[in-house]
Chain A
């Protein structure tokens, strides 16, 4: 799975693993470097997700076939 496709939750979980592995300090250098790069990319990705998130609010109504249909919902500011 490409990093772009990871959800926030998956990214944070992977980041936790990376930090733990790096802190153990016994990985071969090349591997540590790769992990460090992956970690940096994940942090960037998570921060972007947080920064760019815009709340979506919809009202659901049961459609003619029973499936949910999304309608706009006016949010008070």
Chain B
């Protein structure tokens, strides 16, 4: 009898899978629940459980679908999952093969964001041609953000560390809630009307997508676009990109990053100044050497000796020039001077006078030529001996040539 047929596990799981796959509802289904035990495997596939107060459902989302996610799913989030319900025969367990996730409540926001982004892009609000360059050394920086929160203090700390010369003008505004967009937009317009700053930074610290929403508001976008003063937008963390980021003249990944972009670094400036000083000194040093060479050329020409007055003037100029060269140059020359002293010392060591001091003499014949071989001498010839402190004249008695073997 049919009922007595014994199935293998594999056969049974296969049958169940066929049943599932033959059910049209299961091919495309949406399930609402809370994410739990959310795991991303090194393969790029996401595994998680959807649950409500009574039940749970195993889910898998393959890498190809997971890369399209616009948010980072985390355990505890309420979501709607879309996909196909089927059986994994090896475990005999059914699961949702998830093709998309939509966070609860943000679906509408996400749609609004995409629509506004497209509208403003079409109108040219994001055009790079409209973006203004940031001032290199802003003297006054308007910071439009919440006066509470860590972001404002992070920015002030970095600004004062890097470039204390800039004055920071805080325009406190609410950065979340329904009042936030008109306040932010109003502050940007106010800063422009009264020309209070050379640069505007607007933004806030990290938060949920809803927390950052004011910076996706059209009113804020239009105020940023209309600003005559360059605007840096700094909202949330690195991956959060708001509409205001697209419109701003410059996007910073975080408020701290905005402060770094806004001003130069004083210590780098000091280095640049030092290098300017060195270049000036070197240019003058070169000039000075060329002038000296010129002068030496002139003095060696006898014809020009009469031009003493001209040379004297030049000498005075030289002396004055020498005095005016900075201590920096002195240091440079110092090294060269030490080198000269060393050279002079080694020249002195090689001087013939020094050799004589060690007891040697130099013999010259009557013609004054140095005698270096006995072959050039004959008995009775007069010689002059040069010693370190004088000379003596003498006569050769006899010569004795060393025989070489």
Whether B194 and A68, one on each chain, are in contact in the complex, defined by CB atoms closer than 8 angstroms, is yes
Contact A33-B136, Cβ < 8 Å, known A62-B190, A68-B196: no
Question: Is B165's CB under 8 angstroms from A73's CB?
Answer: no
Is A40 within 8 A of B326, CB to CB? yes
Contacting B at CB under 8 A, from A22-73, are 22-23, 25, 29, 32-33, 36-37, 39-40, 43, 46-47, 49-50, 53-60, 62, 67-68, 70, 73
- Interface pair A58/B273, CB less than 8 Å apart: no
Set of chain A residues within 8 Å of B279, measured between Cβ atoms: 19, 22-23
Closest to A8 in B: B137
In this assembly, does B363 line the interface, its C-beta being within 8 Å of a C-beta of chain A?
Answer: no
Chain A interface, DSSP helix/strand/loop, else mixed: helix
Across the interface, which residues of A come within 8 angstroms of B136, CB to CB?
9
Cα–Cα distance between A37 and B320 once the two chains are bound (Å): 13
A76 within 8 A of B: yes
Q: Is the CB of A50 within 8 A of B276?
A: no
**Contact at A55–B266, with CB atoms within 8 Å?**
no
Please pick, from A18, A32, A39, A60, the residue contacting B170 in the complex, using a CB distance under 8 A. Answer: A60
Q: Which of B194, B273, B277, B287 contacts A32 (CB 8 A)?
A: B287
Those of B52-90 within 8 Å (CB) of chain A: none
Instruction: State in angstroms the CA–CA spacing of A29 and B291 once bound together.
Output: 9
- Chain A contact residue count (CB 8 A cutoff): 38
Q: How far is the CA of A35 from the CA of B122 in the complex (A)?
A: 53
Contact indicator A33/B277 (Cβ below 8 Å): no
Nearest residue in A to B138 (C-beta to C-beta)?
A: A9
Tell me, in angstroms, the Cα distance from A37 to B323 when the chains sit together.
12
Q: What is the number of contacts between chain A and chain B, taking CB atoms within 8 Å?
A: 104
Q: How far is the CA of A25 from the CA of B167 in the complex (A)?
A: 40
Contacts of B286 on A, CB cut-off 8 Å?
Answer: 25
A1 an interface residue at 8 Å Cβ cutoff? Answer: no
- Cβ distance B241 to chain A, nearest Cβ, rounded Å: 29
A40 to B283, CA, bound (A): 13
Q: Quick check: A22 and B165 within 8 Å, CB to CB?
A: no
Which residues of A sit under 8 angstroms from B142, Cβ to Cβ?
A: 60
**Closest approach, in angstroms, between the C-beta of B295 and any C-beta of chain A?**
12
Tell me the count of chain B residues lying within 8 A, CB to CB, of chain A: 40
State which of B153, B168, B194, B283 has its C-beta within 8 Å of the C-beta of A58: B168
Nearest CB on B from A23, distance (A): 5
Task: Kindly report which residue of chain A lies nearest to residue B154, judged by CB atoms.
Answer: A76
Report how far A40 CA is from B279 CA in the complex, Å. 11
Does B317 lie within 8 Å of A53, measured CB to CB? no
Q: A55-B166, A60-B171, A62-B190 are in contact. Are A50 and B280 (CB under 8 A)?
A: no
A40 CA to B326 CA, complexed, in Å: 9
B164 at interface, CB cutoff 8 A: yes
Interface residues of B in 134-169 (CB under 8 A from A): 136-137, 139, 142, 147, 153, 156-157, 159-160, 163-169
Chain B residues in 8 Å Cβ range of A49: 165
User: Does the CB pair B291–A37 fall under 8 Å?
Assistant: no
Residue B276 contacts which of A8, A15, A37, A59 (CB distance < 8 angstroms)?
A15
- Judge whether A58 and B167 touch: CB under 8 Å: yes
B321 touches A50 (CB 8 A): no
CA distance A64 to B165 in the complex (A): 30
Contact of A47 among B163, B270, B324 (CB under 8 A): B270
State in angstroms the CA–CA spacing of A68 and B171 once bound together. Answer: 10
**B167, A18: Cβ atoms under 8 Å?**
no
The answer to whether B170 and A25 touch across the interface, beta carbons within 8 angstroms, is no
Verify B280–A40 contact, CB threshold 8 A. yes
12 residue pairs A–B, Cβ–Cβ below 8 Å? A19-B279, A23-B283, A29-B287, A39-B276, A40-B277, A40-B280, A43-B273, A43-B276, A53-B163, A56-B167, A57-B168, A70-B169
Measured CB to CB, the residues of A under 8 A from B are 7-9, 12, 15-16, 18-19, 22-23, 25, 29, 32-33, 36-37, 39-40, 43, 46-47, 49-50, 53-60, 62, 67-68, 70, 73, 75-76
Closest 6 CB pairs of A and B: A55-B160, A22-B283, A53-B164, A53-B165, A55-B164, A9-B137
